[in-house]
Amino acid sequence: MVKTKRQKQRQNPPWEDLNPFVLSMIFGCLSPQDLLFCPPYVCKAWLSATIFTLFRNSTLDLRLIDDLEDEKQRSRFTHLLKLAIDHFQQDWVAIYFPSKYIFGYFATVYIAERTPNISCVFWPSDVSSRALPIYISLFYWKKLSVFHARLNPEEGFALLLQLAEFCKSLVELGVHGEVTEREALCIIEGFPRLKLLDLSESTLSNKGLESLLDQRLKNLKELNILHCLILDDNDKDISETDYCLLKAWRKQLLEKASKLKNLKKFMHCLESSCQECKDVNN
């Protein structure tokens, strides 16, 4: 008996009819090289499954591009990213930008324009080389509630001002770099709803730190100053001052922190020597 075409298709279903979630699980086991250059060329269904594998869940994670070996791979990644943003939009709530690879002005703004509902942005690299695209992006990311970035002395203050102007709902801020009294006052005045402030591994002025603990951040629940280099009024490492003066300063600072009614967690290296800080200083 000769089998009809429909009967043959039932016995041997086409590749594009495979369950997309099963495909995504399989594609997740592939190396980045194979994932970028093999499945997307089979059919449209496999292309969709590849994009879902790369940019699934609620987080748009762009850090994979840091691990790609050559320009051809990075170009392919950005092409699939564009397709994901244009045609396979998801309800992304967070974006992790890469720390090594630099998205240019137009690429960064392109992403921002098409992700206006983003609430969390993590920018692990120094913003010095891409401050302008961040400034423009904040016009679109007005719903931000979480923002983390590594700042530099030239751009840090301006970026905080931009954040304060456009992102009124910010409740979590991570600033890693140089934080003087000027930046500290900008944080206090610009983000009255702030609940979590992460200044870890920053260079922090003593006056700036005291300002952050003067009870004006009434909603602050968590403050992180782990592994910070804290400078005195003469821009010298405060840990190298006279032991008695240092002990009195630590006590005064911790007393200030204890008076913040909503502060539940204060992470610091003030009470005992921190080996990581010692290694950095050495």
Residue 191: the pLDDT is 94
Please tell me what DSSP assigns to residue 193: T
Task: Give 10-residue mean pLDDT values along the chain (282 residues).
Answer: 50 62 80 84 84 85 88 91 81 89 88 92 71 85 93 82 92 92 93 94 92 92 93 86 85 89 88 59 54
Residue 14: the pLDDT is 63
Q: Residue 233 is encoded by which pair of tokens?
A: 């009024």
Backbone angles phi, psi at 102, to 5 degrees: -110, 115
Residue 21 amino acid letter: F
In the chain, the domains with their CATH numbers are 59-281 (3.80.10.10)
Residue keyed to tokens 């967690």? 265
Q: Residue 26 is encoded by which pair of tokens?
A: 């399989």
CA distance 149 to 275: 25
